[in-house]
Amino acid sequence: MKRAAVPLAVLAIIALLLAPLRLNGYAINLLYVTVLSIALAYGWNIISGYAGYFSFGQIAFFGVGAYATALIVVNLHWYWMAAALAGGVLALALAIPLGYVMLRLRGPFFAMGMFGMAQMVRVLVTAVPATGSGSGLFLPPGSGITEVYYWTLAICLGAIALTVWIDRSAFGLRLQALREDEQVAATLGVETTRAKITAFGLSALIPGLLGGGYALFLTYIEPDAVFSSRLDLQSIVMAILGGLGTVWGPLIGGLVMTQISEALWARFPQIYLMIFGGLLVVLLIALPRGIVPALAARFARRSGA
Amino acid sequence: MPQMRKRRRVVLQAWHMSAPLLVVEDVSLAFGGVQALNGVSLEVREGEIFALIGPNGAGKTTLFNVISGVLRPDGGDVRFAGRSILGWAPHRIARAGVARTYQIVRPFGRLSVVDNVAVGALVHARTIGQARNDARDVVGFVGLGAYADRPASSLTLTQRKRLEVARALALRPKLLLLDEVMAGLTPTEMDGMAEFVQHLSERGIAAIAGIEHVMRLVMRISHRIVVLDAGRRIAEGDPAAIQTDPAVIEAYLGAPLAGAG
Amino acid sequence: MILLQLAINGVLLGGVLALSALGFNIVFGVMRVVNLAHGDFVVLAAVFAAFGFAQFGVNPLLLLPLTIVAGFAAGALIHHVLLRRLPGEVASAEASSLTLTFGLSYFLTGAGLAAFGGRFVSVPYLTGAFRVGEVSVPQARLLAFVVAVVLSLGFALLLRSTALGRAIRATSQNLDGALACGVDVDRVRTLAFAIGTAVATAAGTLMSFLYNLNAQQGVLFTVNAFAVVVIGGLGNYTGAVIGALILGLTESFASYFMGATLAEAAPYLLFILVLLFAPGGLRGRRAA
Ligand SMILES: Nc1ncnc2c1ncn2[C@@H]1O[C@H](COP(=O)(O)OP(=O)(O)OP(=O)(O)O)[C@@H](O)[C@H]1O
Ligand SMILES: [Mg+2]
Q: What does residue A220 show for φ and ψ, rounded to 5 degrees?
A: -140, 125
For residues B50 and A304, the model is more confident at: B50
Residue B65 Cβ contacting ligand 1 at under 6 Å: no
Whether the Cβ atoms of residue C264 and residue C33 lie closer than 8 Å to each other: no
Contacts of A22 (CB under 8 A, 6+ apart): none
Q: Which residue of A has its CA nearest to C86?
A: A285
Query: What average pLDDT does this structure show over B171-176?
Result: 93
pLDDT at position C90 is: 43
Q: Is residue A222 predicted with pLDDT exceeding 80?
A: yes
CA A53 to chain C, closest CA, distance in angstroms equals: 9
CA B257 to ligand 2 centroid distance, Å:
26
- Contact across the interface for A271 and C114, Cβ inside 8 Å: yes
Q: A240 near A253, Cβ under 8 Å?
A: yes
Mean pLDDT, to the nearest integer, of B153-181? Answer: 92
Return d(Cα A45, Cα A186) in angstroms, integer.
Answer: 22
Mutational pocket test of ligand 1: of B38, B52, B61, the residue with most ligand atoms within 8 Å of the beta carbon? B61
Percent of chain A with pLDDT over 70: 96
Select the more confidently predicted residue: B18 or C52: C52
Which tops the pLDDT comparison, A305 or C41? C41
* Nearest beta carbon to residue A233 from set C87, C94, C106: C106
Q: What is the pLDDT of residues A288-301, one digit of tens each?
A: 778 888 888 887 77
State if residue B59 touches ligand 1 by the CB under 6 angstroms criterion. yes
Shortest Cα–Cα distance, B120 to chain A (Å): 5
What's the CA-to-centroid distance between B61 and ligand 1, angstroms? 7
Which residues 6+ apart lie within 8 Å of A257 measured at CB?
A: A37, A234, A237, A238, A241
User: A304, exposed or middle or buried, with CB in 10 Å at 0-12, 13-18, 19+?
Assistant: exposed
Does the structure show a pLDDT above 70 at B260?
A: no
Torsion of CA C246, C249, C251, C257, to 10 degrees: -130
* Residue B31 CA to ligand 2 centre (angstroms): 15
Spatial distance between the Cα atoms of B93 and B45, rounded to a whole number of angstroms: 17
Chain B residues with beta carbon closer than 8 angstroms to that of C90: 109
Higher per-residue confidence, C92 vs C175: C175
Q: What is the CB neighbour count within 10 angstroms for residue A269? A: 9
More confident residue, A15 or C19: C19
Which pLDDT belongs to residue C120?
A: 87
Mean pLDDT of A233-260: 88
Average pLDDT rounded to a whole number, residues A259-275: 80
Q: pTM for this structure?
A: 0.88
Where does the pLDDT of residue A134 fall: very low under 50, low under 70, confident under 90, or very high at 90 and above? low
Which pLDDT score is estimated for B216? Answer: 84
Binning pLDDT at 50, 70 and 90, where does residue A305 land? very low
Which ligand 1 atom is the nearest neighbour of the CA of B58? 21
Secondary structure letter of residue B19 according to DSSP: P
Interface of B with A (CB under 8 A): 68-70, 89-91, 93-95, 99-100, 102, 106-111, 115-116, 118-120, 122-123, 127-128, 131, 167-168, 170-171
Q: How far is B111 from chain C (nearest CA, A)?
A: 12
Query: Parallel, antiparallel, or unpaired for β C129-132 and C135-138?
Result: antiparallel
Q: Chain C interface residues facing chain B, Cβ-Cβ under 8 Å?
A: 89-92
Instruction: List pLDDT tens digits, range C85-116.
Output: 876 554 456 677 888 888 899 899 999 998 88
The reported pLDDT for the residue numbered B89 is 95
* Angle at C201 (CA atoms; ends C196, C204), nearest 5 degrees: 125
| Residue ranges of domains in chain C | 2-217
Rounded Cα gap, residues A74 and B47, in angstroms: 70
State if residue B36 touches ligand 1 by the CB under 6 angstroms criterion: yes
Residue ranges of chain A whose CB lies within 8 Å of a chain B CB: 168-170, 173-174, 176-177, 180-181, 183-193
Q: What is the pLDDT of residues B194-204, one digit of tens each?
A: 888 888 888 87
ipTM: 0.87
B56 lines ligand 1 (CB under 6 A): yes
Q: pLDDT value at position B17?
A: 53
The amino acid at B204:
G
Which residue puts its alpha carbon closest to atom 30 of ligand 1?
B57
**Which atom number of ligand 1 is nearest to the Cα of residue B54?**
21
Which residues on chain B are in Cβ contact (under 8 Å) with C92?
Answer: 110
| A184 to chain C, closest Cα gap in Å | 13
Highest mean pLDDT among A232-246, B94-108, C14-28, C258-272: B94-108
**Cα gap C263→C9, rounded to integer Å:** 15
Instruction: Pick the ligand that lies closest to the CA of residue B228.
Output: 1
- Residue C236 pLDDT exceeds 80: no
A70-129 pLDDT, tens per residue? 999 988 889 989 999 999 999 999 999 999 999 988 888 888 889 889 988 888 888 777
- Identify the pLDDT of residue B38: 93
How high is the pLDDT of residue A26? Answer: 81
CA B63 to ligand 1: nearest atom: 18
Confidence at residue C194, expressed as pLDDT on a 0 to 100 scale? 94
Chain centroid to Cα A305, Å, comes to: 38
Identify the pLDDT of residue A287. 82
Residue nearest (by alpha carbon) to ligand 1 atom 16: B59
Q: Which of B191, B190, B148, B188 is nearest to B166 (CA)?
A: B148
> CB B106 to CB A176 under 8 A?
no
Mean pLDDT, chain B, whole residue set: 86
Residue B195 sits at the vertex; the CA angle it makes with B189 and B200, to the nearest 5 degrees, is 125
Mean pLDDT over each residue of chain A, to the nearest integer: 87
Which of A40-49, B38-47, C249-258 shows the lowest mean pLDDT across its residues? C249-258
Cα–ligand 2 centroid distance for B25 (angstroms): 20
Nearest to A188 among B69, B128, B171 (CB): B171
pLDDT given at position B100: 95
Q: B3-52 pLDDT, tens per residue?
A: 444 444 445 545 555 678 999 999 999 998 889 999 999 999 988 899 99
Is C276 in contact with A104 (Cβ distance < 8 A)? yes
Q: Identify the residue among B108, B110, B163 best suited for mutation to test binding to A, counting A beta carbons within 10 A and taking the highest.
A: B108
Q: Which position has the higher pLDDT, A52 or C237?
A: A52
**Whole-angstrom Cα distance, residue C55 to residue C209?**
16
CA distance C28 to chain B (A): 24
Q: Which of A27-36, A155-164, B223-232, C119-128 has the lowest mean pLDDT?
A: C119-128
| Per-residue model confidence (pLDDT) at position C287 | 37
**Cβ(B177) to ligand 1 under 6 A?**
no
Report whether pLDDT(C288) > 60. Answer: no
Mutate which of B31, B103, B182 for ligand 1? The one with the most ligand atoms within 8 Å of its CB, which is B31
Band the pLDDT of B253: cuts 50, 70, 90.
Answer: low
Per residue in B68-121, pLDDT tens? 999 999 999 999 998 999 999 999 999 999 999 999 999 999 899 999 999 999
Q: Which among B52, B53, B56, B62 is the best mutation to test ligand 1's pocket, defined by most ligand atoms within 8 Å of the CB?
A: B62
CB of B57 closer than 6 angstroms to any ligand 1 atom: yes
Instruction: Write down the pLDDT at residue A3.
Output: 64
Q: Which CATH class is domain A2-304?
A: mainly alpha
* Alpha-helical runs (H) found in C86-138: 90-116
Interface test with C, best of A181, A268, A284 (most C CBs within 10 A): A284
Residue B203 per-residue DSSP state: T
Closest-CA distance, C134 to chain A, in angstroms, reads 32
Task: List the single residue in B with minimal CA-CA distance to C90.
Answer: B109
pLDDT at residue C74, as a whole number? 94
Closest C-alpha among A59, A67, A117 to residue A87: A67
For ligand 1, atom 24, name the residue with the nearest CA.
Answer: B56
Whether C137 and C129 have beta carbons less than 8 Å apart is answered as yes
Cα separation of B142 and B136, whole Å? 10
Q: Could you give the C-alpha distances from A260 to A229, A234, A254, in angstroms and in order?
A: 19, 12, 10
Indicate yes or no: CB of A168 within 8 angstroms of CB of B118: no
Q: What is the pLDDT of residue A198?
A: 97
Segment B141-150 shows an average pLDDT of 91
Among residues of chain B, what percentage have pLDDT more than 70? Answer: 90
Confidence of residue B2 (pLDDT cuts 50, 70, 90): very low
Contact call for residues C199 and C212 (beta carbons, < 8 A): no
Is B178:B166 a contact under the CB 8 Å cutoff? no
* Pocket test residue of B24, B29, B34 for ligand 1, highest count of atoms within 8 A of CB: B34
